Amino acid sequence: MEDMLLYDRLQFAFTITFHYIFPQLTMGLSMLIVYFKWRYLRNNDERYNTTATFLMKIFAINFTMGVVTGIPMEFQFGTNWAKFSELTGGIIGQTLAMEGMFSFFLESSFLALFIYGEKLMGQKLHFLTGLLVFLGSWASGWFILATNAWMQHPVGYEILDNGKYVLTHFGALFKNPWLIPAFLHNQMASLVTSSFVVASIGAFYVLQEKHVNYGKLMLKTGVVFGAISSLLIIFPTGDWNAKNVVKHQPASFAAMEGIFHTEDAGAEIVLIGQPNMLEKKLDNKIAVPNVLSFLTYQNWDTQIVGMDQFKKEELPTNVPALYYAYHIMVGLGTVFIGIMLLAVFFLWRKKLFTLKPLLWTIMFLVPFPYIANLTGWYVAELGRQPYLVYGLLKTADGISPTVSSGNTLFTLLGFVGLYLLLGILFLLLVGKVVFQGPESQKH
Amino acid sequence: MEIFWYSIIGIVLVVFFVLDGYDFGTGIVHLFFAKTEKDKAVISKAAGLFWDSNEVWLVAGGGMLFMAFPTFYASVFSGFYLPLIIVLWLIVFRAIGLELRTQFNFSMWKTIWDKAFGVSSLLLTLFFGIALGNIVRGVNLGGVVEGKSLYEAHFFFLPLWDSSFSPLSTTPGVIDWFTIIIGIIAVVTLTIHGANWVILKTNASINEKLKKIVFKLNIVLIILTVFSLIVWLQVNPKALNNFADKPYLIVFPIVYLIGLFGLFGVQKFKKESTALLFSTLLIVGGITSSLASMFPVLLPATNTVNPSLDIYNTAASEYGLSVAMSWGILGFILLFVYMIIQKRLMGGKIDAMDYGH
């Protein structure tokens, strides 16, 4: 049994991590493409249009990767988490089916039109197809977040005598207090990734002195969007989410922040330290007193409940992993704000394009928003443990009852091999598009 | 309400097999019949331009199945664990093949991805046929051994095969001689469908030859159809009772037969779309006849201890199904609008069309 749960979790974690590399870029990138296209309609500067088409090429590669790695996600609910599917399908099946119906079809149909149809339909319609691709990809995020919000904070359901959960209030799925903060936080994080990618390509062109006009345009747009979205992920969206966790999952909050002991006179905020689970304390800790209480309750002295107040079975199963995921996310988020504000400052002083150290930094920053996005999701998912549906269904009780660990390990290894190949090919393709540059679009 | 959702999901799956069916079939045609580089390029483009919007139907069908019949979804997806995951790998692999061939212009690169596309199309088609065979054959629900269930009544697990390869074995696997026959029927059907698609969408040099091949495969298909009916009655003597009880269901096999015999005119049709229409009828009729023979059962139990899964004992709550109906109808209206827009812009022969990304 233990092995089965481990392999099922590893397989899901691995496949969803790999999958989420792609949608996190496409959601934000579609917004930037719409922005470039809109600017082109306003100022008729061909550079904006070419950049939009160029970015759509990168979008398309990511979209394809998102589709092929997304189909296994949907199937795995049934293959590896059959008990969970059986119990909750009547509820979260609604939001998942709506994703297919309202966003996936929209996105894929209009993506094809955007790519093949520019000459056929004129610029205004072409802008409109871009806008629909953007709407489709954000709607997709909305329905997935609605599904996840129900697992984090179940609402609008009833449990029957036979143990099955049934939906009693459809509207509640979308009025879930967990949903809007999580959705906005997630979308802003996605915008961070895509702005950083655009800025990084821009920095590469400027430093390499190739396609410099486009490079400057992408760099400028990337850092402005990057600075705004970096600020928005911390405040207000990150703040809202933290308050939701304190309210609805207090044990996860204590574990995330590394608070082992309840402090009556205000809790400190931990900057660095390693959780020592044997002695129930943080080793090598650096912390600022009372700040956590202030951030959480706007009062320096409010008590924050520590892990000592919860029974072991209520605490997240892997405290150190959760703690690190959270601290990596927050730490990187803080660094992003610093770098992007600096970049915007030099852009305003008209020095950004010649400031090589900063350009190099921006160019190499590109993996980190991906790491921040993924660790953010780890916080949500590890924080929900030991539950699959918070308070209702334990993760261990959600797995497929008839699939043996040998079969799951076999498929896990298969996925690792296949996705390794896929990852290499993906880098090759995106690399090729970037090296060819925006002007190769013109026929 | 259960019947409404059963029909909707049935339609979505049939549409999936008709649409993705032609690009699977295109892959098989590519593997066996395309010889020159020019033909290979245009035939893989005939699938490459369309596969992703076709596969969206699979995602939509899966989502709806999850929502409307969660117990069936959970039971079947975990019970057919290995074949399903292998299907997922093949879907991924096929997509890589299609998308990568045009990226670099040297012959070894193209050969590799052409083979990936062709072989995975062939295997996927075979597996989908085998899946249909498994559904009509039924499984040992509850994992009954000597009159006792190992699992809850609606769960089961099937290995890929059992050493006897027989559907009559007490522990049949996914692959046995019966499901293999259905798999081969699927391959022949989709090869015909794919060939018709290639003829319609391209000016490939092998188009005339493909028409002859369709004609020959059609003869093979008639023989296989008759043969499969005989063995089906061996495996499940009650297989055709539904048609006797509800004679109006006979309309589905008639659709199949119209498709089958209509295709013999492939070399004489004035419009190339006529042949594709007949092979579409073939697929629609084939799948709906199989489903109709079982209705309202979704997955028969091969033991007498546990009940078969049907649309009533696996459905979500009445409330959930009726809410979903209201948004489902809206969704379908939107969907058909997109499809019409898309087909208008992408109609006609594709040889000269620019292969965007």
Per residue, what are the HEC states of A146-175? HHHHHHHCCCCEEECCCCCEEECCCCHHHH
Å from B146 to nearest chain A CA? 18
**Subunit contact B319:A166, Cβ cutoff 8 A:** yes
Q: Does A245 map to a domain?
A: yes
Question: Strand, helix or coil at B34?
Answer: coil
Residue B149 sits at φ, ψ, to 5 deg, of -80, 135
Show the tokens assigned to A47. 């550079």
B100 vs B114: CA distance, rounded Å: 9
Q: Which residue of A has its CA nearest to B160?
A: A407
Residues B213-219: what's their mean pLDDT? 94
User: Is pLDDT above 60 for A1?
Assistant: no
> Token pair for residue B203?
């000016």
Which of these, A273, A238, A258, lies nearest to A304 by C-alpha position? A258
Q: What pLDDT score does A304 carry?
A: 87
Range of the domain at B46: 2-315
CA distance B275 to A1: 54
pLDDT of residue A113: 84
Please give the structure tokens belonging to residue A407. 């079969």
Q: Does B156 touch chain A (CB under 8 A)?
A: yes
- Reported as a single tens digit per residue, the pLDDT across A396-437 is 999 999 999 999 999 999 999 999 999 999 999 999 999 999
From the list B58, B77, B91, the residue facing A82 with the nearest CB is B77
CATH number at residue B294: 1.20.1630
Q: Helical H runs in B34-155?
A: 37-48, 51-68, 70-79, 81-100, 107-137
State the average pLDDT over residues A210-237: 95
Mean pLDDT on A340-350? 96
**Closest residue on chain B to A410 (Cα):** B82
* Torsion angles phi and psi, residue A289, rounded to 5: -65, 145
Q: Which residues of chain B does A412 touch, with a Cβ-Cβ cutoff of 8 Å?
A: none
Nearest to A100 among B59, B69, B341 (CB): B59
Find chain A residues with C-beta within 8 A of B81's C-beta: 79-80, 400, 402-403, 407, 411
CB contact under 8 A, A112 and B53: yes
Task: Answer yes or no: are the C-beta atoms of B29 and B276 closer than 8 Å.
Answer: no
Q: Which pair of tokens denotes residue A343?
A: 């970049």
Cα separation, A431 vs A443, whole angstroms: 21
Query: Which of chain B's residues have a Cβ under 8 Å away from the Cβ of A116?
Result: 345-346, 353-354, 356
Candidates B49, B55, B56, B346, partner chain A, best to mutate (most A CBs within 10 A): B56
Determine which helix (DSSP H) or strand (DSSP E) holds A288, and give its type and residue range: strand A281-288
Tens of pLDDT, residue by residue over A304-339, are 889 999 998 889 999 999 999 999 999 999 999 999
A78, B316: Cβ pair inside 8 Å?
no
Token pair, residue B302, equals 């091969």
Pair B93, B51: CB distance under 8 Å: no
**Residue B348 structure tokens:** 């006609």
Contact B99 A64 (CB under 8 A): yes
User: What percent of chain A has a predicted confidence (pLDDT) above 90?
Assistant: 79
Buried b (16+ CB within 10 A) or exposed e, B102-117: bbeeeeeebeebbebb
Domain count, chain A: 1
The rounded radius of gyration (Å) of the Cα atoms in chain A is 23
Whole-angstrom Cα distance, residue B230 to residue A72? 36
The answer to whether residue B357 scores a pLDDT higher than 60 is: no
A18 within domain boundaries: no
A439 vs B82, more confident: B82
Q: Are A79 and B353 within 8 A, CB to CB?
A: no
Asked if residue B341 belongs to a domain, the reply is no
DSSP one-letter string for B247-290: GGGGHHHHHHHHHHHHGGGTTT-SSHHHHHHHHHHHHHHHHHHH
Mean pLDDT confidence for B227-244:
88
Please tell me the predicted confidence (pLDDT) of residue A191. Answer: 97
Percent of chain A's residues with pLDDT above 70: 99
pLDDT-based confidence at residue B354 (cuts at 50, 70, 90)? low
Euclidean distance between CA atoms A10 and A16, whole angstroms? 10
Nearest to A74 among B63, B71, B317 (CB): B63
Closest Cα to residue A88, out of A29, A169, A151, A12?
Answer: A151
φ, ψ for residue A230, nearest 5 deg: -65, -40
Count interface pairs A-B at CB distance under 8 A.
223
Res A443: pLDDT:
43
Within 8 A of B63 by CB-CB distance, chain A residues are: 74, 93, 96-101
C-alpha torsion sign, points B161, B163, B165, B171: negative
Residue A267 scores a pLDDT above 80: yes
Which of B291, B336, B287, B344 has the alpha carbon at shortest distance from B18?
B287
Do residue B345 and residue A93 have CB atoms under 8 angstroms apart?
A: no
Q: How would you classify residue B147: left for phi > 0, otherwise alpha for psi between -120 and 50, otherwise beta?
A: left
What gap in Å lies between CA B188 and CA B29, rounded to an integer? 11
Nearest of A369, A366, A364, A368 to residue A24 by alpha carbon: A369
What are φ and ψ of residue A284, in 5° steps?
Answer: 50, 50
Mean residue pLDDT across chain B: 90
**Kind and range of the H or E run holding B307:** none
Distance from CA of A124 to the nearest CA of B (A): 16
Contact yes or no for B332/B31 (Cβ under 8 A): no
Contact B357 A104 (CB under 8 A): no
Partners of residue A112 in chain B, C-beta under 8 Å: 49, 52-53, 342, 346
Domain presence at residue B124: yes
The answer to whether residue A330 sits within a structural domain is yes
- Rounded to a whole number of angstroms, the distance from the CA of B244 to the nearest CA of chain A is 34
Q: Check if B145 contacts A (Cβ < 8 Å).
A: no
Per the structure, how many domains does chain B have? 1
B346 — contact with chain A (CB < 8 Å)? yes
Average pLDDT over residues B211-222: 94
Tell me whether strands A281-288 and A269-276 are parallel, antiparallel or unpaired.
antiparallel
B307 within some domain: yes
| Whether residue B348 has pLDDT greater than 80 | no
Rg (CA), chain B: 21
| Mean pLDDT over each residue of chain A, to the nearest integer | 93
| B76-95 burial code (b ≥16 CB/10 A, e <16) | bbbbbbbbbbbbbbbbbbbb
Per-residue pLDDT of A51-69, as tens digits, reads: 999 999 999 999 989 988 9
Rounded to a whole number, what is the distance in Å from the CA of B203 to chain A's nearest CA?
20
Say whether A74 and B60 touch across the interface (CB within 8 A): no
Q: Can you give the length of chain A in residues?
A: 443
Contact B316 A166 (CB under 8 A): yes
Residue-level pLDDT at B87:
93
Are A325 and A379 in contact by the 8 Å Cβ rule? The answer is yes
| B73: nearest CB among A69, A89, A98 | A89
pLDDT of A294 > 90? The answer is: no
| Contact list, B67 vs chain A (CB under 8 Å) | 89-90, 93-94, 96-97
Contact at CB, A101 and B103, closer than 8 angstroms: no
Mutation to test the B interface, candidates A61, A98, A402, most B Cβ within 10 Å: A402
> Got the DSSP string for A96-147?
HHHIIIIIIHHHHHHHHHHHH-HHHHHHHHHHHHHHHHHHHHHHHHHHHHHH
Each residue's pLDDT tens digit, A145-191? 999 999 999 999 999 888 889 999 999 999 999 999 999 999 999 99
pLDDT, mean of residues B164-174: 82
- Quote the tokens at residue A338: 């610093």
The number of beta carbons lying within 10 Å of the beta carbon of residue A270 is: 21
Confidence at A441, pLDDT banded by 50, 70, 90: low
Identify the band that residue B343 occupies on the pLDDT scale cut at 50, 70 and 90: confident
* Residue B335 near chain A (CB below 8 Å): yes
B274 in a domain, yes or no?
yes
Q: Three-state SS for A305?
A: coil
Domain for residue B186, yes or no? yes
Using a CB-CB cut-off of 8 Å, the residues of chain B touching A88 are 70
Q: Pairing relation of β-strands A269-276 and A165-167?
A: unpaired
Residue from B288, B294, B299 nearest B138 by CA: B299
Q: Are strands A387-389 and A165-167 parallel, antiparallel or unpaired?
A: unpaired
Could you report the per-residue pLDDT of A111-157, keeping only the tens digit for each? 888 887 777 778 898 999 999 999 999 999 999 999 999 999 999 99
DSSP string computed for A9-23: HHHHHHHHHHHHTTH
Interface test with B, best of A8, A19, A76, A79 (most B CBs within 10 A): A79
Bridge partners, A269 (sequence order): A288
**Closest to B117 in 3D by CA, of B82, B92, B86, B83:** B92
Q: How far apart are CA A102 and CA B334, in angstroms?
A: 8
Q: Find which of A12, A73, A116 to mutate to test the B interface (most B CBs within 10 Å of its CB).
A: A116
Query: Out of A94, A113, A422, whose CB is closest to B96?
Result: A422
Tokens of A285: 């800790």
The 10s digit of each residue's pLDDT in B10-61 is 999 999 999 999 999 999 999 999 889 889 989 988 888 888 888 888 888 9
Residue-wise pLDDT for A248-265, tens only, equals 999 999 999 999 999 888
Name beta bridge partners: A281: A276
The answer to whether the pTM exceeds 0.90 is yes
Contact B320 A90 (CB under 8 A): yes
Residue B67 and residue A75: Cβ atoms within 8 Å? no
Of A422-426, B271-275, B337-341, the least confident: B337-341
ipTM: 0.91
Domain enclosing residue A254, as ranges = 226-403
B132 — pLDDT class (breaks 50, 70, 90): very high
CA angle B38, B44, B47 (to 5 degrees): 145
The residue type found at A51 is T
Q: What is the rounded distance in angstroms from the CA atom of residue A75 to the CA atom of residue B148?
A: 30
- Structure tokens of A387? 């539950």
To probe the interface with B, which of A71, A96, A125 has the most B CB atoms within 10 Å?
A71
Beta carbons of B72 and B298 less than 8 angstroms apart = yes
Query: Which residue of chain A comes nearest to B156, CA vs CA?
Result: A402
- Tell me which chain A residues have a C-beta less than 8 angstroms from the C-beta of B341: 109, 113
Say which residues have a Cβ less than 8 Å from residue A43's Cβ, sequence separation at least 6: none
Q: How far is Cα B118 from Cα A136, in angstroms, rounded to an integer?
A: 31
Angle A23-43/A212-232 helices, nearest 10 degrees? 120
Among all residues of chain A, which has the CA nearest to that of B98? A64
The dihedral built from the CA positions of residue A146, A150, A156 and A160, taken in this order, carries a sign that is: positive
Residue A89 lies in a domain: no
Q: What is the dihedral of CA A220, A226, A232, A238, to 10 degrees?
A: 180
